[in-house]
Structure 1
Amino acid sequence: MMNKNILIVEDDVVFCKLLTRFLTKNNFDVMDAQSGKDALELVNLNQFELAILDYRLPDMTGIEILKKVKEKKPNAKVVMITRYGDQEVAVKSIESGADAFISKPINPEELLQVIQGFE
């Protein structure tokens, strides 16, 4: 499996770090941000193969970050994290170009399967 650059944007710090550690252990290069502003800064400075974005961030929605990621790297994959049962957000995410969505609570193994499915 090739080494992939992943951006994780999740405002829950503990969960964000847990995902970062989990994916790093699985041979991904991971950068994370807890706000939309920090995420956009990372997107401007780096190329990501994959972005895992929480839809609800304190300062914006994941859709804004998704658009930036796709603008810079059109074939990058984006997974949107939504609250359980939030169909409206899921539909909006896919319409905006997300490649997949996962509802919270997230099982890291399930996330890994989704990521591996992109290859």
Structure 2
Amino acid sequence: MNKKILIVEDDVVFCKLLTRYLTKNNFEVMDAQNGKDALELINLNNFELAILDYRLPDITGIEILEKVKSKNPQAKVILITRYGDQDVAVKAIDSGADAFISKPINPDELLEVIQGFE
């Protein structure tokens, strides 16, 4: 088994699609559709990689990014959003994101970014 990955995405169908895709590529994947559930998973697990939607129903991906990095400073974080403006990208990188990807996301391209961290 490769890296333990957390996916936080409020679009349930897209979230499950990414989870299945990365699981088939030998990653251990856990997912959440909101910040509250994501924070619970972070408290119970040590993730090596987090793929976070910027806009969630309860908190932002930046807030989750900060929790992931405070628990595991070596964790890699990819922030995703369909609102791909420069301000969000700059804020994500300034907050410690290792990559920023605008939706729509091609799963193969996401996999390439993840493999680039190894």
Q: TM over 0.5, yes or no?
A: yes
Which ranges in structure 1 are unaligned for 5 or more consecutive residues?
Answer: none
Task: State percent identity of aligned pairs.
Answer: 85
User: Quick one: distance in 1 between partners of 2:92 and 2:107?
Assistant: 20
Q: Which amino acid aligns with 1:86?
A: D
RMSD over aligned Cα, in angstroms?
0.9
Q: Normalised by the size of structure 1, how large is the TM-score?
A: 0.97
Q: In structure 2, the residue corresponding to 1:6 is in which secondary structure?
A: strand
Q: How many residues align?
A: 118
Residue 86 of structure 1: how far off its partner (Å): 1.5
What amino acid sits opposite 2:90 in the alignment?
V
Q: CA deviation at 1:85?
A: 3.3
Moved over 3 A (4+): none
Matched, 1:86 2:85: yes
Instruction: Give CA deviations for 1:37-90 in whole Å, capped at 9, x if unaligned.
Output: 000000000000000000000001000100000000000000000225321111
What is the aligned partner in structure 2 of residue 68 from structure 1?
67
User: Secondary structure of 1:74's match?
Assistant: coil
Q: How big is each residue's C-alpha offset from its partner over 1:10-38, in whole Å with a ceiling of 9 and x where there is no partner?
A: 00000000000000000000000000000
- Post-superposition shift, 1:117? 0.3
Q: Partners of 2:64 and 2:83 in 1: how far apart?
A: 21
Question: Residue type matched to 1:46 in 2?
Answer: N
Distance 1:66 1:103, change over 3 A: same
Instruction: Kindly provide the CA deviation profile for residues 91-117 of structure 1, in whole angstroms up to 9, marking residues without a partner as x.
Output: 100000000011000000000000000
